[in-house]
Structure 1
């Protein structure tokens, strides 16, 4: 009888579903999830886009591009799949960073999260252009146009991602647990993305280059999240 009483009054084990509720994540969990997610995105984007898709594209030569993709169809499709996975992880990163900064400013963190989710949606739409291009390889000009549309939609939507980074940078600057320098680096990164987006949208022949500044801020952020952030004990 005593065993039954003990069992009935014991604290219930945490339900597995509670671990999936990002609203209950601790800062340490949010940091670990976002750090691993960002690292996975770098690997997938590098392998998928720069390793699988870009080498098969010859700018201005639709016939060669279509022929090269046809000959390496599995490589191309694997690259497109990797990019699509990046869009999904973008959503995960958005909710993880909301969980990390919700105690700094909940409303602003929510706005930033929805901004990144919207960007992920636009990125998925752009990725759909790459998938569509594969279905019209028998029409090389149309296929190359779809591939070019991917790049245009992606680069312009990065302007929204730039605004997101600026908001996160501001939240980092307000927080007491992230070094101020990371907030400054993210603001610089976000500004670079915005400049590139405006240039691509309104300046013919513009070559995106300012987003390259993001490499410094985002790379430093990944290391901080995985090394320092995952040890946070604040509530």
Structure 2
């Protein structure tokens, strides 16, 4: 009976979650990965300011993509709770709250990013070097903010990975990938926020982030194309029970 309940997902909700996963990956890769690399020059406020002013269209697209990620995150957080609450209400709530905490930090992070534009395009932006320095501070705060929300996201993935492993609606290896790979986000966040520089940790982080990225994409694709259909394991269990 328990297994049967766990596999009775709403297919449209599962597919919506899968679509949101892929949309977040695309928008987030653009706004968090590509755009800052084109604008921010570490330790050079003048160059960062010049890059932003020369690429204002790209900056605005990044803001739109970041805003979309936040909205998509709100939706997928609720959907995942809906899908997994029968597996474990407590752990599903942990996953929901930790991802909600991540969303709050992402919103604050977006504010820092937008403030850099406000500082540099103000009426006295070029009267001194102070606006450049302040904008660079906003860029640096935005970069560190990413490592803060990674801590919340890592906690979310630990809970989500546990839920996937306990559920029979998704292959267990995806759950293990999410659970183990979550330590990539957690370790990287702690390393960057404590200014730790250990080469071995960097290599471990890269390996774990590869694992979790592949697991997240595979999990999203599974939800999108399977729509919560029972796995072969669960079908065999239900047949045996019958």
User: Would the TM-score normalized by the shorter structure come out above 0.5?
Assistant: yes
Aligned to 2:240: none
The alignment covers a number of residue pairs equal to 210
Compute the TM-score of the two structures, normalised by the length of structure 1: 0.82
Aligned to 1:223: 221
**SS of corresponding position for 2:17:** helix
Correspondence 1:88 to 2:80: no
**SS of corresponding position for 1:178:** coil
Any idea what the Cα deviations from partners look like across 1:183-218, whole Å, max 9, x if unmatched?
A: 100011211110011101112457664534321111
Compute the TM-score of the two structures, normalised by the length of structure 2: 0.80
**What CA distance in whole angstroms lies between the structure 2 residues aligned with 1:161 and 1:51?**
20
Cα 1:110–1:126 shift into 2, 3 Å? same
Correspondence 1:161 to 2:153: yes
If asked which structure has higher relative contact order (CA below 8 Å, sep 6+), I would say 2
Q: Is the 8 A contact 2:168 2:230 kept in 1?
A: no
Cα 1:201–1:49 shift into 2, 3 Å? closer
Shift, 1:221, TM fit: 0.8
206-215 or 160-169: which moved more?
206-215
Of the candidates 168, 177, 194, which is equivalent to residue 176 of structure 1?
A: 168
Task: Give structure 1 stretches of 5+ with no counterpart.
Answer: 1-24
CA RMSD of superposed structures (Å): 2.1
Cα 1:199–1:131 shift into 2, 3 Å? same
Shift, 1:37, TM fit: 0.6
**What CA distance in whole angstroms lies between the structure 1 residues aligned with 2:196 and 2:134?**
21
Task: Give structure 2 stretches of 5+ with no counterpart.
Answer: 1-7, 126-130, 235-242
